[in-house]
Chains A and B, each alone.
Chain A
Amino acid sequence: MMYKYFGFFLAAFLVISVAICSWIYVIYQQEKELLTELKRLNTSKSEVE
């Protein structure tokens, strides 16, 4: 690991990994919210019925 330019490689790798992970995190949160709302809508619908 004493090779030259290791910092640059690490920076590039981290940028890619962090970007993809944040992406997954964001859409995962969105999915969670949507599922909660779907559940809420379903229960309120069955209450009406």
Chain B
Amino acid sequence: MLSIKNINKQFGHRPVLRDVSLEIGDGELLGLVGPNGSGKSTLLRIVVRVVSCDGGSISWNGNSILNAGADQRRPLLYLGHEPGFYPPLSAAENLLLIAKLYGLEPSPADVEKNLSEVGLDPARSGPIREFSRGMLQRLALAKTLTIPWELLLLDEPTTGLDKQGKSMLSQLIETWRKDDRSLLLVSHDEEWLSSHCDRMVQLSNGRIQRSEVDGEKSVQTELVGEA
């Protein structure tokens, strides 16, 4: 279970997140919606410690993430807004490298399998600099198949994906949901999110505004107890 407590973040003197508290239960698919600049991406980046925060605490199954060593981040996998790869390397090399950063040694066959599963040609050896936005997004999704995560944090995963890509992503999410895995999805596409998520939380102006269960509006504080 991920629990985020009283996170505050300012950029300069502009508050981006104000006292944000959130919990994601085991096997829960939580959607985070909000207009541009509401702090969704920043919250995600704080959880995986790409961005520092000004106060508050974050823990995974009771272990603090914020003031701990790198190993505490291992259960979390973050797919950011940007693809997060090295442009001069090929798709397979990028995947292999990331796997190694998580201490894994996948065989080339595994990597190829994951690449074809997201609809990329595993034989293609050129640098990913030549990839389109959609192809990069598919490659990013291949990370979720390569690395054994316990909580997946996805930031606008539909960006640049074509119709097929979108339905592939939806399929992936449905499989994860069936397998009871925990996900934190961020998108401004409320409709798309609500078709997948168990629960949705709206962030606006850096504050949690409202949350819904299956379309039913209720107050966030009531939900924390449930989760």
Assess A/B contact in the complex (Cβ within 8 A).
no
Give me the interface of A with B, judged by CB distance under 8 Å: none
Give me the interface of B with A, judged by CB distance under 8 Å: none
